[in-house]
Amino acid sequence: MIKNIIKTNKFLSVTLSDGTVMVSTDTSKELLNAIKEASDDDEIQALMCPDENVDDSDKVVSQRVLSVYNGETESDYVEFRGNSAYIPSISELTVPQDFVEAIIKAEQDCDEVLLETYLNFWTLVSLNPDSRVRNNIFWFIKRWNIKITKNGLLVTYRNADFKEEGKYGKYATERVTGDWIKIKGQKKSPKRYTYDYLDESGMPTEESKLIKQDNVLVTLDDLYNKIGETTVDKTTFTDHHSHTFTIKIGEPVSMPREDTDHIQEHDCSQGSIKSIKIFVN
């Protein structure tokens, strides 16, 4: 009946027999014991989500899903079989309840960009052989406000230590990369920003100011691409924890799956999402 139970100091997560993931901030022993003694999924749902604890926003989202489940409205993507939901155009894997609600809401809101983002995201998630990841990843994303890119990737950040200076130097690499990330994070275009002064290598000096100016010859985006496109003599960094990785702007960093720690309760462990060693482009 219960596929999985995760209990931390902050939340209790229960994965039901149909793949539905339910999360409660009530981490008491009383609730945990009651769930273990429950006879079916309905009883667990009643324990995890008592009526008095469901706010209006949850009811609105649940009603969207219920309308599709009952056939009152149609979804071009979500299909219900019994109590389980699927996106058959992508895979035959059950879709967690919170992600079903997100997909249906984006579809009914006619948010094409968000819908494409979610579908690309689920395509990548479906390739993951770990069912716990598939069931819990969207909850984790919402819990920590992680951004999903349009092509379905997660935007995460990790500390890196300086290793070796290259053609453009440590300062220029960190300055341009940092400013590019900041501007992109503000949902602005790096193509509309530049520096008021560049040195002989074409990079900003320590006194340079980042300014917004249209129709300039060298933009912040140009400099960022210039650093990333350098094929040799790049400034390199390494991971803060083990100092075993070589990290260069514009080059992906990865590690074999068999070397990662698949136990989700191990925060900041080898290869976990909280210690992911992938950097911006």
Distance separating alpha carbons of residues 281 and 179, to the nearest angstrom = 14
Confidence of residue 60 (pLDDT cuts 50, 70, 90): very low
- φ, ψ for residue 275, nearest 5 deg: -130, 25
Return the pLDDT at 230.
73
Residue 160: strand pairing partners: 239
Percent of the chain topping pLDDT 90 = 35
CB atoms near residue 147 (< 10 Å):
11
- pLDDT value at residue 2: 65
Cα 208 from chain centre: 34
pLDDT of residue 185: 80
3-state secondary structure 86-145: ECCCCCCCECCHHHHHHHHHHHHCCCHHHHHHHHHHHHHHCCCCCHHHHHHHHHHHHHCC
- Compute the distance between CA of residue 148 and CA of residue 154 in angstroms, rounded to an integer: 5
Write the pLDDT tens digit of every residue in 174-233: 999 999 988 988 889 999 999 999 999 999 999 999 999 988 899 999 999 999 887 778
Structure tokens at 139: 């909850």
Span of 229-238, 247-256, 265-274 with lowest mean pLDDT: 265-274
- C-alpha span between 165 and 233 (Å, rounded): 8
Q: Is the pLDDT of residue 42 over 70?
A: yes
Q: What is d(CA 169, CA 165) in angstroms, rounded to the nearest whole number?
A: 5
CB atoms within 10 A of CB 18: 15
For the stretch 61-93, pLDDT in tens is: 468 888 898 889 999 999 999 888 999 999 999
DSSP calls for the chain: ---EEEE-SS-EEEE-TTS-EEEES---HHHHHHHHH-SSHHHHHHHHS-GGG--HHHHHHHHHHHHHHTTSS--SS-EEETTEEE-TTT-SSBPPHHHHHHHHHHHHTT-HHHHHHHHHHHHHHTT---HHHHHHHHHHHHHTT-EE-TTS-EE----EEEEE--TTHHHHHHHHHHHHHHHHHTT--GGGEEES-B-TTSSB-TT--EEE-SS-SS-HHHHHHHHHH--SS--EEEETTTS---EETTS-----GGGS---TTSTT-TT-GGG------
| Rounded Cα–Cα distance for residues 222 and 235 (Å) | 17
Q: Please indicate, yes or no, whether the overall pTM of this predicted structure exceeds 0.75.
A: no
